[in-house]
Structure 1
Amino acid sequence: MTATNKNKALHISLWVAQVVLALMFLMAGAMKSTQPVEELAKSMSWVNDFSAGMVKFIGVSELLGGIGLLLPAILRIKPILTPLAAMGLFTVMVFAFAYHVSKGEYGLLPINLVLGTIALFIAWGRYKKVPIQPKA
């Protein structure tokens, strides 16, 4: 495989990862930022450990992270924001991982690991390997 083909394959892989991760965080963020905390607590027991404001903050952060994975890259306006959004979502996953470990909720850790790894892959790829070039 030539270097050009490798870059093209990586570029496509990064776009797939960006879309998948963005959809995951857009759905999760929309749910956390719009549904009442009491309703969320039925399916997410961790919500009871935080204030309603913190749950909404997490939801809005996830929404903005999902938007940041796609919009700057698609529009090619400040595309450096895409790897920064990925790092922000990675940070959210680190905190979620730590929280679940502290509560002994080990069954939820694979989700945090997978999403965090995808976020790191996007940050690395879009920052170092195949960055999106801004509009001229």
Structure 2
Amino acid sequence: MNIALWITAGALAAVCLVGSSKMIVAREKLAAVGASGQWVMEFSPHALKAIGAVELLAAAGLILPAVLGIAPVLVPLAATGLVLLFACAAVMRLRRGERVTITGDLVYLVLAAFVAWGRFGPAPFTG
């Protein structure tokens, strides 16, 4: 179980690191990615930087506390924060009528919930 939690946390951290590019890439370039990137135009550049910063902090929070052994309780807290982030992303996609692209957000939400459940619950971080 611990290995599955590590793999899932690592995959989520990688997704969040890629997603944190919102902090440095102009929103016009992000919108040019295609239909799935048009959502960025509904947010101000400052809001996108904030979302990117949250994703960067989540990526760090999923891995670093457990690896360093410093406050490993931050891992499930970061995962819980990601559950909230992906829930908000799913709501935004529903509001925009993007039912096809919501699948990724829901998968990430379930993976983050798995990490939060595993680290808070039956298999807390043991090293």
Which residue does 1:56 correspond to in 2?
49
Normalising by structure 2, report the TM-score: 0.94
Q: Which residue of 1 aligns with 2:23?
A: 33
Contact in 2 for aligned 1:76/1:133 (Cα 8 Å) = no
Query: Partners of 1:20 and 1:105 in 2: how far apart?
Result: 24
Unaligned runs of 5+ in 2: none
Q: How many residues align?
A: 124
- Look up the equivalent residue of 1:34 and give its one-letter code: I
1:102 aligns with 95
Percentage of identical aligned residues: 38
1:11 counterpart letter in structure 2: N
- C-alpha contact 1:76 1:132 (8 A) present in aligned 2: no
User: Considering only aligned residues, what root-mean-square deviation do their CA atoms show, in Å?
Assistant: 1.1
Deviations 1:105-131 (A, max 9, x none): 011111011000000000000011121
Q: How far is 1:57 from its partner?
A: 0.6
Once residues 133 and 118 of structure 1 are traced to their aligned partners in structure 2, the CA distance between those partners, rounded to angstroms, is 20
Amino acid at match of 1:107: V
Choose from 10, 30, 42 the match for 2:32. 42
Q: So what's the TM-score if we normalise by structure 1?
A: 0.88
Structure 1 stretches of 5 or more lacking a match?
1-9
| Residue in 1 that maps onto 2:115 | 122
Larger radius of gyration: 1
How far off its partner does 1:133 sit?
4.5
Look up the match of 2:15: 24
Q: SS state of the match for residue 111, structure 2?
A: helix
Q: Distance in 2 between matches of 1:51 and 1:96?
A: 16
Give the Cα separation in 1 of the matches to 2:24 and 2:110: 27
